[in-house]
Amino acid sequence: MPPAPPRPEADARPGHDRDRSAAADTADLMAQRYGQRPGDAARRRRWTWVLAAICAVLGLAALAMVSVQFFEPTVTSQDVGFEVVDAQTVRVTFDVSRPVGREAQCTLEALHTGFGQVGLLEVPVPASTEHTTRMSAEIATTELATTGIVRECRLLD
């Protein structure tokens, strides 16, 4: 069997240069019409990566802030009871839980029947070797109080 005749190269086909030039003309026309220029795709890819990197850095920063606040030591309080001593005094008993060796400060509040504030007192809670400490404090009131509560407690630095 005789060897097969060599096939003409793709560029050697008749009209191939005309096809290539028509494609280039179409690409130029599209670039003029829609603003596409050589290198736009690479530039767009680069900006996409830069934007993704910025988002990743901001996300990691937010995660770090949340995790630091999550593991920050806290203080909690629990109302145990109250006693209306007289028209100008209410005694509040409460438990404070905080990290061992840390000082805290609690705000106590005396309320009347309409839940209006009639007394307020800041109570320091000294550092202790115990996690939970029971405290009792008397709040001076402007009128007869019907309850005494712990509004909030916070750690001192």
Percent of the chain having pLDDT more than 90?
A: 59
CA distance 30 to 45: 20
| Full 3-state SS string of 12-65 | HCCCHHHHHHHHHHHHHHHHHHHCCCCCHHHHHHHHHHHHHHHHHHHHHHHHHH
Mean of the pLDDT values across residues 80-85? Answer: 94
Q: What is the pLDDT of residue 20?
A: 61
> pTM of the predicted model, to two decimals?
0.57
Instruction: Clarify whether residues 92 and 48 are in a common domain.
Output: no
Question: 22 vs 59, which has greater pLDDT?
Answer: 59
- The yes-or-no verdict on residue 19 having pLDDT over 70 is no
CATH of residue 151: 2.60.40
Q: Has residue 1 been placed in a domain? A: no
Q: Write the single-letter amino acid at 14.
A: P
Q: Has residue 97 been placed in a domain? A: yes
